[in-house]
Structure 1
Amino acid sequence: MVRVLVTRPEPGASRTARRLRDMGFQPILLPLTETVPVDAGAVPDDAVAVAVTSANALRHAPKALIAALAALPCHAVGKRTAQAAREAGFVSVSEGSGDAEALADALAASLSGKTIAYLCGRVRFATFEERLEAAAVHVRAVETYDTLALDYSDGDIIDRLVGQPVETVLLYSAKAAVAMQTMIERPKLHDLFDNTRFLALSGRIAAALGGISSERMQIAKEPSEEALLALLQEWR
């Protein structure tokens, strides 16, 4: 059975593991990051809409913050984030294709000159906000969580891998890719990843894992778990 290392944080890691088992793979959970709540600060009182590019932003958002924004239209990047928005209490939720840049372009076309509240994490790529600001959409970032790297000893990692090489690694974020790079460079762990194939959610994430040949790196057709797991199934 193909062993697949899952590097995303909980609770997503366990959810992915269940999907992998149903597909006939052997998941190995090794979250390389964790998300923690932070003080979200003040709610912008001039916002006409809400944008969300990560379900974690909703999961860690205080109830008072959601209550203050729930009546505004919420634009979610994709299916899972839209579901999280509805569960959090947003009344009007639109669902994007799963691509943050595409969401920014869609909002830019209709919200020029207006202000949106962007529920997000402290660690994020600037492209979404930059595209909106360039189109005269005023973005008020409301940070609800932070992403922290997790540190494991060589022994912890070897125990989780049962001392056996890993066939495939799933990479969901650039921060996890950087942590993965550090891990495979450790002398005691290097042999466990000699022939590993890496599957990344996007080109940006793949680029964060340096020194890996193109033959060992594949990128999902779109930044969604469905596309990533389809890539895994195709490879098998």
Structure 2
Amino acid sequence: MPGVLVTRPEPGASRTARRVLEAGFQPILLPLTETAGLPTDAGQVPADAVAVAVTSANAVRHASEEIIAALAALPCHGVGKRTAEAARDAGFLSAREGPGDAEALAENMGDIFSGKTIVYLCGRVRFPVFEQRLERAGVQVHPVETYDTSAVRCSDKDVLALTSGQPVDAVLLYSAKAAAAMQVLAARPALKLLFEKTRFLALSQRIAAALDYGAGKAIEIAATPDEDALLALLRAPC
């Protein structure tokens, strides 16, 4: 059974592993990043906030009960289905599912909230495009950082044990930070043979750019930035 490296952290990793197995591949769990909550309190919420934006489910999973309680009555705009579900699970009374892409969500919210203030629940490590687009539309964005992301160190021994020393058929990449960590991992002399013919499947162009693995490597990008599209790449012929 072809081996597929799942690089995302829990709780998403196990769910993805089940889907990979159902698709006829052998999942290999090797999270390359981990998240940790940051301290937050209700004092970080501006009094004039009229809505909440969330582009990562981790932002609500790691948000403190105090922050959720302060924001729960405001409409929450999630970037996609899973983010909206995570917001509802966290306690938001109204969580709307967005278009699945952060830039498209910014465009939608810019039309609705121009001249108003919104809270952006987010991570310390993030790309600025979402906030920049909203600000250009006249929206006052107030970021509240609820979590941080860091790379996970993996030894050659650990990787070889997980893969049984066999070549990896595909790698699923969900974040730019994981893609950068994957580039370093695959370049290690002891691991090069594992990744010589690997297909690197990225959730977006930005993630693929972070891999920057060089000519001759099979880097493929999902048609839309969601897991269904990513797994469709996995099932498609090389």
Shorter chain as normaliser: what TM range? over 0.9
Correspondence list, 1:91-102, <5 A = 91-102=93-104
Deviation of 1:215 (Å): 5.9
Deviation of 1:44 (Å): 2.0
Distance 2:111 2:205 in 1: 26
Question: In angstroms, what is the RMSD of aligned CA positions?
Answer: 1.1
| Correspondent of 2:122 among 120, 123, 131 | 120
Deviation of 1:77 (Å): 0.3
Distance 2:234 2:167 in 1: 17
1:27 aligns with 2:27: yes
Where do 5+ consecutive residues of structure 1 fail to align? none
Over residues 71-100 of structure 1, what are the superposed CA-to-partner deviations in whole Å (9 max), with x where a residue is unaligned? Answer: 001101000001111111111111112100
Distance 1:73 1:145 in 2: 21
Q: What SS is found at the alignment partner of 1:235? A: coil
Deviation of 1:22 (Å): 1.4
Correspondence list, 1:147-166, <5 A = 147-166=149-168
Distance 2:68 2:169 in 1: 42
Distance 2:213 2:15 in 1: 30
The aligned counterpart of 1:230 is 232
1:174 aligns with 2:199: no
Over residues 124-172 of structure 1, what are the superposed CA-to-partner deviations in whole Å (9 max), with x where a residue is unaligned? Answer: 1100000001111000000000001000111111111111110100000
TM-score between both structures, scaled by the size of structure 1:
0.97
The aligned counterpart of 1:14 is 14
Paired positions, count = 236
The aligned counterpart of 2:90 is 88
Amino acid at match of 1:138: Q
Where do 5+ consecutive residues of structure 2 fail to align? none
TM-score between both structures, scaled by the size of structure 2:
0.96
Correspondence list, 1:17-96, <5 A = 17-41=17-41, 42-96=44-98
Distance 1:84 1:49 in 2: 16
Q: Which runs of 4+ in 1 moved over 4 A?
A: none
Amino acid at match of 2:32: L
Over residues 202-235 of structure 1, what are the superposed CA-to-partner deviations in whole Å (9 max), with x where a residue is unaligned? Answer: 0110011123336611100011011101111113
Distance 1:2 1:235 in 2: 13
Identity %: 65
Q: What SS is found at the alignment partner of 2:131? A: helix
Q: What SS is found at the alignment partner of 2:86? A: helix
Over residues 14-69 of structure 1, what are the superposed CA-to-partner deviations in whole Å (9 max), with x where a residue is unaligned? Answer: 11001111121100000000010011252222210000000000100011110100
Distance 1:135 1:34 in 2: 33
